[in-house]
Amino acid sequence: MPRLVFDADVPAAKVERTLGRAVFRPYWLDDAARSAPDFGPGLTRPARYDLVVVGGGYTGLWSALEAKRRDPGLRVALLEAQTIGWAASGRNGGFVEASLTHGQDNGRARWPDEYDQLERLGLANLDQIEQAVAELGIDCDFERTGALNVATETYQAEEILTLRAASGNLGGPGSAADEAVAYLDEAEIRAQINSPTYLAATWDKRGNALVHPAKLAFGLARACAEAGVDIFEHTAVRSLAGGRGLDPTLRLATDRAAVLAEQVVLATNVFPSLLARYRWHTVPVYDYALMTEPLTDGQLAELGWRGRQGVSDLSSLFHYYRLSRDGRILWGGYDAVYHPGRRVRPRQEIRPQTWAKLARHFLISFPYLEDVKFTHRWSGAIDTSTRFNAFFGRAYSGRVAYAAGFTGLGVGASRFAAKVMLDRLGGIDSEATRLRMVRELPLPFPPEPFATIGIQATRWAIDRADHNQGRRGLWLRGLDAVGLGFDS
């Protein structure tokens, strides 16, 4: 197979030098540790609420906050097994995507009749997140920078330049200034960010923002508490039952006490659902990331990146990267690793070979930054669904609402999901609840060992497609045909 730009060799000593002192901690949680809220030791005695939200990540936080905004008199509790934002909400790249469908190609293929509506709702959702962050005074380094999708292979660049010619949108200095999407040739993208790997790019100017993930989670938690939500950390919910016969009350069992609720939002995402019927609909896929030390003024000047856009490359196995407020580069992605058995375990976060691969790819992209050191390395599990975006479930005669399967785009889509779940609990016939995307479930993953065999075969096929100018082979085309299409 032909070699790709990221197949280039980099001396192992250079890679080791960049990684040598990187601590094994999520940078965002480490950086924001002093401002982390403390909600005490957790639930210690039985309680009763109108609404109980299970999960202290973005989905749960937005759900609790929105519920109190709709009805300030509602008694709402949020139960979190660990601490606020400790899982995906404190470990992600901080990309707040407008897309609710994991990109245009996936959305148009699955919901061609409602894609334009989904795109509009996604952009409105991003606008509303920006507005909420401002209104609530959440200091989370919110930047509406847009996103660059860069071509690092010739066939990718040719596709972009064909779109550029067809649209007449040239994207250079002084042109396409008012266009939502600009198409950049090699000189124009390298004027934005200086990388010898760049051959062309698209610039989505409206559809992405950047945040400090942990600060956003902590800010939402404080807003919930100020609105009157009772937050209990260190309170794992072991089971959900009740809601039968003459008594519709739901019972949530924790390690130390029971909680009674009229309604429940389940926002556990990558972790096994309390509703057995949905446990086959997601698998945990581990994503890995690195963070550099702050770049010097000279290094930043050579880098460029004055637009501070979020960036990803266009291969199916892709990298994502961005600047932090203090001039660090977050560099992550490419390897998406499934560990057999569907379990989420701390030991699965440790994968030196992936961090070494990421460091090598960083040096290929920015060879003049070879003296820059990584300070942090970490990983986290992504709740992946077979359709690559969130799905929605219900149980107990509509008194329990569930959402999961965000597949890496939960920073933005979690707020949309919260509103959908609350609409459903309230019996509200809204534009969102009428969507086919909301009403239909994805295909479940098969049991083991077939899940492992299928996922590993898919990863191999994706890598082969990347090495074959993006052409999807028989295995991937077969998955596409039955609605199990994978991008990474």
Query: Across the strands, what pairs with 333?
Result: 319
What's the pLDDT score for residue 1? 64
Q: Report pLDDT digits (tens) over 167-225.
A: 876 655 444 445 789 999 999 999 999 999 999 999 999 999 999 999 999 999 999 99
Q: Which residues of the chain have pLDDT under 50?
A: 173-177
Token pair recorded at residue 245 = 């016969």
C-alpha distance from residue 299 to each of 22, 62, 119, 305, 327 (Å): 20, 38, 37, 11, 10
Contact 408, 277 (CB under 8 A): no
Whole-angstrom Cα distance, residue 338 to residue 173? 43
How remote is the C-alpha of 165 from its chain's centroid? Answer: 32
How remote is the C-alpha of 9 from its chain's centroid? Answer: 30
What's the pLDDT score for residue 174? 44
Contact 81, 232 (CB under 8 A): no
Domain boundaries, the chain: 5-32+150-206+283-384, 33-138+212-282+387-439, 450-481
Q: pTM of this prediction?
A: 0.95
Name the pairing type of β-strands 23-24 and 374-384.
parallel
What's the pLDDT score for residue 176? 46
Q: Report pLDDT digits (tens) over 334-379.
A: 988 999 988 899 999 999 999 999 999 999 999 999 999 999 999 9
Whole-angstrom Cα distance, residue 210 to residue 200? 22
What's the pLDDT score for residue 173? 47
Whole-angstrom Cα distance, residue 71 to residue 285? 37
The CATH architecture of the domain made up of 5-32+150-206+283-384 is 2-Layer Sandwich (3.30)
Token pair recorded at residue 124 = 């409105």
CATH class of 33-138+212-282+387-439: alpha beta
Indicate the residue type of 163. Answer: L
How remote is the C-alpha of 118 from its chain's centroid? Answer: 18
Whole-angstrom Cα distance, residue 221 to residue 407? 23
Classify 243 as helix, strand or coil.
strand
Contact 214, 28 (CB under 8 A): yes
